[in-house]
């Protein structure tokens, strides 16, 4: 793996699965389509052939029961990964995710560990429409007890997946199909502790802080390159773990740049970008701000199907550049 060859994000996910399946007999994966490659891209290809159909289980069309089965196995000593090929489908399992997995430890007095990973895939674009495109990470990040992980880099795809599976708490692991073609040269897998991880600075800068996660983080990195050509030095922060959220690195960056643009692939109202802005307003003194903070999100509408509407719906790198330029160019009147 560290032989100088590039690994794709999709392959890195598969490497993560293979790593935990190989090393930990307690790990198994379960979900719709696990024996049918087109559902999950290349991220789980042939795992059933490598590790057996007893540990890579394709299931009946029953999201709620299958997630409950994973929760039940998790409290019985296993480390299951329940896979939902669309985030939208995972909504059928919300009782098990929110009422059960996220609550058992607390409501049973801290005595129960629920080491289940709920992997859900964002599969937007391609005219898939309102029920095949949702992200909803803000929704899940709202739930105490449910860790929410969104890897933006190839290395995180693999290493945060491993960390999620090895974590003693339920983890909502959300990956975006639009990231699958990203490539990196990876070192060997490493086991990291999820509760020690938090936001990371992907590019340092002094003029404006861009905060994002998952696919939009890649857009922010692209935007930062364009901004550099226009004399704006942007700092880019990758949230990585949305809940519980470590705010300190974000606040520290804003205290340095005095400017904030939160970029999120979810809706605006009560969304992750709103949480970043609220945390920044609470945590950064007014005198520090050089201009009003802002956010870029999806419009508050369900995802459309028709191509021109899709184009209007999903923000582009240029939108981030434009907004950042506006922020840097504006001043707060005091």
Among 251, 234, 236, smallest CA distance to 327 is for 234
For residue 97, the Cα-to-chain-centroid distance in whole angstroms is: 16
Per-residue binding letters, 18-37, with other proteins (x by CB under 8 A): ----------x---------
Strand order in the sheet with 294-298: 200-203, 234-238, 208-212, 260-267, 294-298
Per-residue binding letters, 151-180, with other proteins (x by CB under 8 A): -----------------xx-----------
Among 36, 107, 126, 183, binds other proteins (CB under 8 A): 107
Q: Where are the alpha helices (DSSP H) in 53-172?
A: 63-74, 87-90, 94, 104-107, 137-141, 154-166
**Site membership for other proteins, residue 3 (CB under 8 A):** no
Q: Which stretch binds other proteins (CB under 8 A): 120-128, 141-149, 173-181, 276-284?
A: 141-149
Under rule CB under 8 A, how many of the chain's residues touch other proteins? 43
For residue 326, the Cα-to-chain-centroid distance in whole angstroms is: 28
CB of 25 to other proteins, least distance (A): 9
- Distance separating alpha carbons of residues 323 and 333, to the nearest angstrom: 19
Query: What is the enclosing helix (H) or strand (E) of 193?
Result: none
CB distance 160 to 81 below 8 Å: no
CB distance 118 to 172 below 8 Å: yes
**Site membership for other proteins, residue 65 (CB under 8 A):** yes
Among 13, 20, 74, 118, binds other proteins (CB under 8 A): 74
For residue 6, the Cα-to-chain-centroid distance in whole angstroms is: 22
CB of 274 to other proteins, least distance (A): 22
Per-residue binding letters, 244-263, with other proteins (x by CB under 8 A): x-------------------
Q: Which stretch binds other proteins (CB under 8 A): 4-12, 69-77, 231-239, 308-316?
A: 69-77
Query: What is the enclosing helix (H) or strand (E) of 41?
Result: none
Q: Which stretch binds other proteins (CB under 8 A): 73-81, 126-134, 271-279, 281-289?
A: 73-81
**Site membership for other proteins, residue 296 (CB under 8 A):** no
Residues that bind other proteins (CB under 8 A): 28, 54, 59-60, 62, 64-78, 80, 95-96, 99-100, 104-114, 144-145, 147, 168-169, 195, 244
């Amino acid at each position: 793996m560290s032989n100088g060859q590039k690994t794709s994000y999709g392959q890195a996910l598969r490497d993560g699965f293979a790593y935990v399946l190989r090393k930990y007999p307690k790990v198994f994966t379960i979900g719709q389509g696990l024996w049918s490659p087109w559902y999950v891209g290349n991220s789980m290809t042939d795992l059933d052939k490598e590790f057996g159909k007893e540990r890579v289980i394709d299931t009946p069309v029953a999201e709620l029961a299958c997630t409950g089965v994973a929760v039940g196995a998790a409290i019985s000593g296993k480390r299951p990964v329940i896979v939902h090929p669309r985030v939208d489908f995972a909504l059928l399992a919300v009782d098990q995710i929110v009422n059960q997995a996220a609550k058992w430890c607390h409501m049973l007095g801290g005595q129960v560990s629920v080491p289940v990973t709920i992997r859900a895939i964002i599969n937007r674009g391609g005219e898939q429409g309102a029920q095949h495109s949702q992200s909803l990470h803000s929704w899940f990040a709202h739930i105490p007890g449910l860790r929410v992980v969104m890897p933006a880099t190839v290395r995180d795809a693999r290493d945060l997946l491993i960390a999620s599976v090895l974590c003693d708490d339920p983890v909502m692991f959300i990956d975006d199909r639009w990231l699958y073609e990203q490539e990196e040269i990876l070192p060997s897998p490493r086991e990291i502790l999820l509760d020690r991880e938090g936001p990371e600075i992907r590019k340092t800068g002094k003029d404006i802080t861009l905060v994002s996660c998952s696919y939009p983080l890649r857009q922010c990195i692209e935007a930062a390159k364009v901004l550099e050509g226009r004399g704006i030095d942007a700092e880019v922060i990758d949230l990585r773990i949305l809940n519980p959220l470590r705010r300190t690195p974000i606040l520290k960056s804003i205290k340095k740049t005095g400017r904030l643009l939160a970029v999120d692939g979810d809706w605006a109202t009560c969304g992750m970008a709103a949480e970043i802005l609220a945390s920044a307003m609470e945590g950064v003194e007014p005198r520090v701000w050089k201009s009003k903070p802002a956010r870029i999100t999806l419009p508050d509408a369900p995802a459309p199907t028709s191509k021109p509407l899709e184009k209007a719906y999903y923000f582009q790198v240029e939108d981030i550049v434009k907004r950042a330029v506006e922020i840097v160019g504006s001043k707060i009147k005091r």
